[in-house]
Amino acid sequence: MAKPLSGVGLLLAPGAGADRNQSSLVAVDAAVSDIGAKVVRMDFPYRQAGRRAPDREPVLLGAVRAEAAGLAERAKLSPAQLVLGGRSMGGRICSMAVAEGLPALGLALVSYPLHPPGRPDRLRTAHLPALKVPCLFVSGTRDAFGTPTELEAATATIPGPVTHVWLEGKDHSLRGADRQVSEAIVAWMTALVG
């Protein structure tokens, strides 16, 4: 019997201070791979070079485009069969790439960094109205990068279908919630494909 996600790929990008082995990305990889999807956890060029400071946005966007193209080619999938996303900055960069025209089946965004902590005036939302694909946002209710009210208001500008999964009492790190994050992404991707 075919596995539910056998015709789908998932690209996962890490947050700014982490790499492809971030625990939640590893957990999502295992859970989604287990039901048939082809998964790639990527590192951005600055991490590959051993630097701590993230590259500028054009470099980050180029890395996402290249990784998505590589995943599609290796898995023999069309770009429109890929879900793109990841944690914090990684998910934001994937969403920006899709807003700029990178094809995708959907976006799975964990701890989306709506604004820097304590700076709600510096919203990272200009590209959201260009997102026409289904979007999943998995966030803690105590995330300093965006409250549930702020994130729901911002994502109301997205023309594509938006799903929110709130993890009660969790902050931006979502520490100890790898299983819940994985379950949310598996359920959403299965519904998306089904």
Domain-embedded: residue 97: yes
Domain-embedded: residue 151: yes
Domain that holds residue 53: 9-193
CB 169 within 8 A of CB 142: yes
User: What are the helix (H) ranges across 76-137?
Assistant: 88-99
CB 107 within 8 A of CB 85: yes
Which pair of tokens denotes residue 10? 């998932």
194 residues of the chain, pLDDT tens digit each: 668 889 999 999 999 999 999 999 999 999 999 999 999 999 999 999 999 999 999 999 999 999 999 999 999 999 999 999 999 999 999 999 999 999 999 999 999 999 999 999 999 999 999 999 999 999 999 999 999 999 999 999 999 999 999 999 999 999 999 999 999 999 999 999 98
Domain-embedded: residue 2: no
Domain-embedded: residue 57: yes
Give the model's pLDDT for residue 3.
86
Domain-embedded: residue 65: yes
Give the model's pLDDT for residue 113.
97
Which pair of tokens denotes residue 29? 């990889």
Query: What gap in Å lies between CA 86 and CA 96, rounded to an integer?
Result: 13
Domain-embedded: residue 1: no
Domain-embedded: residue 22: yes
Q: Are strands 162-167 and 106-110 parallel, antiparallel or unpaired?
A: unpaired
Buried/exposed code over 139-165 (b: 16+ C-beta within 10 A; e: otherwise)? bbeebebbbeebbeebbeebeeebbeb
Domain-embedded: residue 53: yes
Decide: helix, strand or coil at residue 132.
coil
pTM value is 0.96
Taking only Cα atoms into account, the Rg of the chain, rounded to an integer number of angstroms, comes to 15
Looking at the structure of the chain, the number of domains it has is 1
CATH number, domain of 87, equals 3.40.50.1820
